[in-house]
Amino acid sequence: MGDRAMAGAKARGRPSGGRGRRRLSVDERRDELIEAALQLFSTRSPEDVSIDDVAAKAGASRALVYHYFGGKNELYIAALGSAAKQLSVLLEPPTEGRPLERLRISLKRYFDFVESHAAGYTALLRGGPADRSGEAGEIVDGIRRLLLDRILHSLDVDVPPPILRITLRCWMATVETAGLDWLENRDVSRPDLERLLVDQLVVIMQVSGRHDPGTGALFDRLAHEEMNH
């Protein structure tokens, strides 16, 4: 009887949940739930993820998830917003170096996010509805606008001519696809992939320059700066 009494006392003394976890702050607990949601949304569509799935992934209760988020859509938007915010911080433009060198730095930072926040990146690009309407679409479009702005900043371009804008947006789609493919296969080294993408941009800018004098002049300037470094 004495042994059982001692065991009961020890059990009553354990933190709730029996796992001995430290007590999390409101922000920490919310971040934990968002991270669990990102992991799920990166491999399954939002329609296939339930609040119970998120709660189980985070080791929390269903009621706790509803306490922090009004429902699954609010949680999904919060998860996408968190991933977008992390990426936007990493994409702060470099201030030194030649244009293509600054672009290489920005691309490296982009792939730092791809590698370190795979769930967030994949959820951002793959996890949502096909039409990307509403708040989810605004978040993804906002990141793409930010990325375009960062590229233009790296190239010392304020207002791009239409041909250059189209060229850069096409290249951005290539970078996104390359990021998803790299996460899935990882059969090309990151440095090699980053060099390939920069070289691809140079080639398509050269081709686009044949259709637009402004883009052609930009290509000539970039080529001149690279050769004379």
Q: What topology does CATH give the domain 24-79?
A: Arc Repressor Mutant, subunit A (1.10.10)
HSE-up (13 A, CA, CB side) for residue 120: 25
Mean pLDDT per 10-residue run, the chain (229 residues)? 44 43 75 92 84 94 93 90 86 82 90 87 68 76 89 90 96 95 96 96 96 95 83
Cα–Cα dist 215/155, whole Å: 11
**Contact in structure between 203 and 216 (CB atoms under 8 Å):** no
Instruction: Give residue 22's pLDDT.
Output: 55
Q: Does domain 92-227 have CATH number 1.10.357.10?
A: yes
Q: Where are the domains of the chain?
A: 24-79, 92-227
pTM > 0.85: yes or no: no
Instruction: Give residue 44's pLDDT.
Output: 83
Cα–Cα dist 157/164, whole Å: 10
